[in-house]
Amino acid sequence: MRPYRCDSIKGAHLPPRGKPPPETEMNRSPFKYKKRSA
């Protein structure tokens, strides 16, 4: 019921829920995500 697992896997290196969604960060800094994905 609590989005803890998803947050742990998908939002591990992402800021807390207080910040904008990851989609916005991805669009703002695609370099950071691309480097992490590489």
pLDDT of residue 19: 58
Nearest to 25 by CA among 38, 4, 9, 11: 11
pLDDT of residue 2: 55
Residue 15 near residue 28, CB atoms below 8 Å: no
> pLDDT per residue over 1-38, tens digit each?
555 555 555 555 555 556 555 555 555 555 555 555 54
**6 CB-side CA count, 13 A:** 5
pLDDT of residue 18: 62
